[in-house]
Structure 1
Amino acid sequence: MPQRRGRWSEASLRAAMEAVMEDPFKVPTKRAMWSEESLRAAMKAVQEGHMTHYAAAELYNIPRSTLWDHLVSGKTVKRTGRYPVMNTEQEEHLVGRLIDKSKTQKLTNKIIRREAFIMCQEWKLKHNFNLKTGLAGIDWLRMFLKRHPEISNAKQ
């Protein structure tokens, strides 16, 4: 029986319920309910000519546009959300700068945000930080500290 738009499939509902059991305060979403394995299988089926991308998307329960984007780019990594302002190497450089700075002064959130802004300006990186205040955003800081817990330790 074909699914009606806007309804949760049985697999999506089961996955959402499991997510709620793990973290009851996290609101379940219908985003990225597919796995990398199903993406790879769908891409392989389309590339080998066994089925169209429409059929593969339906069979493997992947949004058509998502499957198409991955077919065009050739990437099989599941990634949602925004792209980071800095790549991994640049963030590691910033971490080094911050750790060096923590030896001479106490790191605060404002110092971390200012250093990130200065580094982006120096390296001419495209960013959406506040030019008026010269600071990186609070959301960027929160995610940066999540990716680099060693900075949280250096702050203390």
Structure 2
Amino acid sequence: MGVNEAARQFGIPKTTLKDRIKKGVAIKQHRLGPSSALGEDAELKLVRYIKKLQTFGFAPDRESVRIWAFQLAEKLKLKHTFNKERGKAGYDWLNSFLRRHPDISIRKAEGISFNRATGMNRLSVKHYFTLLENVLTDNHLHSKPSNVFNMDESGLQLNNRPTQALAAKGSKNSEG
């Protein structure tokens, strides 16, 4: 098929099609509109961090993610329009962030009592100790027992009204 015929059939201007063939101009893969204040790489790090926290049972809420976005922009010395007085990104940024990363969604976190009732089983306990072993190994703490602390929740106020949290879409656990 010739260029003129292809242009007519697919509704593409002839000059555009000829330029693409002649110059080998690649089609842009990025979205229209202004780019994110953090940039693609930093946002992907933030997404991985959110998912990691969620797997450990600490899914972050909206406010935390907005604060982290501000802190990340400041640490990377990026130009941004986040609120410096409050030290966090805006609601619009968060909504755009969620649109750019459809694998993260806002979910209502489960209350702690249900998690306690179902969480104390052989598999969960084994996972906890495997995770503990990995943290101790990764941070070289086996030879430094004075740097390892133990605590229980007897003196802590537990939140019986869970907030909405950001979590990986389709995941089963989003504890708050």
What TM-score results when the alignment is normalised by the length of structure 2?
0.43
Question: Larger radius of gyration, structure 1 or 2?
Answer: 2
User: Greater share of strand residues, 1 or 2?
Assistant: 2
Q: Which has the higher contact order (CA 8 A, sep 6+)?
A: 2
What TM-score results when the alignment is normalised by the length of structure 1?
0.48
User: Greater share of helix residues, 1 or 2?
Assistant: 1
